[in-house]
Structure 1
Amino acid sequence: MEKLDSIIFYNIDKAIRTYRNYAQRQLKANGFNITIDQWLIIKAILENPGITQNEIGDLAFKDNASVTRIIELLVKSEYIIRNINSDDRRKTNLDVTESGKEIIKKVQKLIENNRKTALKDVTKEELEIMNSALLKISKNCLNAKK
């Protein structure tokens, strides 16, 4: 019987969860009142003007209910605002406020340091191979016949 730590997908998931927990602890330790998921969603809105909630969910790997909940918190924290879509009043546009842009800027340096810590002793060649392999895995799963 194979051991968990010999299963590549277990190790990928473990690495991601360990990194996210570490990154979240760093945010809290440095006095930021924002979660990794909130940061991801602000960043997605900032980088993709006019993005829909479904598209945000796809980018952040979150279901619609989670995205809605996070957006509510971000509106309450005044990091984003909702504006009525001028073409379709049933839709809203999400925009990042100045304080939202500011928190992204402030957190960016910490995020870069977190990545540096996580990738310590991983060579550029190893990163390129790993990135290529992960992209192939994603492509294989997306293109798999049901």
Structure 2
Amino acid sequence: MEKLDSIIFYNIDKAIRAYRNYAQRQLKLHGFTITIDQWLIIKAILENPEITQNEIGNLVFKDNASVTRIIDLLVKSEYVIRTVHANDRRKTHLEVTESGLKIIKDVQKIVEDNRKIALEGISKEDLQIMNNVLLKISENTINTKK
């Protein structure tokens, strides 16, 4: 029987969890109260101004309840403004505030440093191969009928 550490998907999940835990610790160490998930959602809104909450969930791999909870916290922290959509009352319009823009900018250097540390000793060629392999795994398993 194969050991856990020889299973590629176990190692992918382990790496992701280790990185996220490290990144969150770094934010806290630098005095930020924002979470990685909150940062991701602000970034998603900034990069996609008309994005819906459902689309945010798909983009950041979170269920609707989690996205709603995180957006509620972002609104309470005054990083995001939520208003009823002008053309469809069932939808909401999300907009990043000035303080939301500031937190994204302030956290960016830490994010870049985290990535640099996590990728230390890995060649650009290896990163490209890994990225291609991960994209192929996604392609093989998303929307498959098997």
TM-score, scaled to structure 2: 0.98
Q: Which runs of 5+ in 1 are unaligned?
A: none
- The alpha carbon displacement at 1:113 in A equals 0.2
Structure 1 distance, partners of 2:6, 2:130, is 16
Whole-angstrom distance in 2 between the partners of 1:138 and 1:72: 30
**Partner in structure 2 of residue 74 of structure 1:** 74
- The residue correspondences of 1:9-48 to structure 2 (distance < 5 A) are 9-48=9-48
RMSD: 0.7
Where do 5+ consecutive residues of structure 2 fail to align?
A: none
Aligned residues: 146
Determine the structure 2 residue equivalent to 1:107: 107
- Following the alignment from structure 1 to structure 2, what is the Cα–Cα distance between the partners of residues 129 and 85? 42
Go from structure 1 to structure 2 and tell me whether the alpha carbon gap of 1:93 and 1:8 turns closer, same or farther (over 3 Å shift): same
Which digits, 9 at most, give the CA deviation of each residue in 1:17-54, with x for residues without a partner? 00000000000000011000000000000100110011
Instruction: Name the TM-score, length of structure 1 as normaliser.
Output: 0.98
CA distance in 1, matches of 2:141, 2:40: 24
Quick one: distance in 1 between partners of 2:56 and 2:90? 18
Give the 3-state SS of the residue equivalent to 1:82 in structure 2: strand
Q: Percent identity?
A: 76
Task: Give the structure 1 partner of residue 91 of structure 2.
Answer: 91
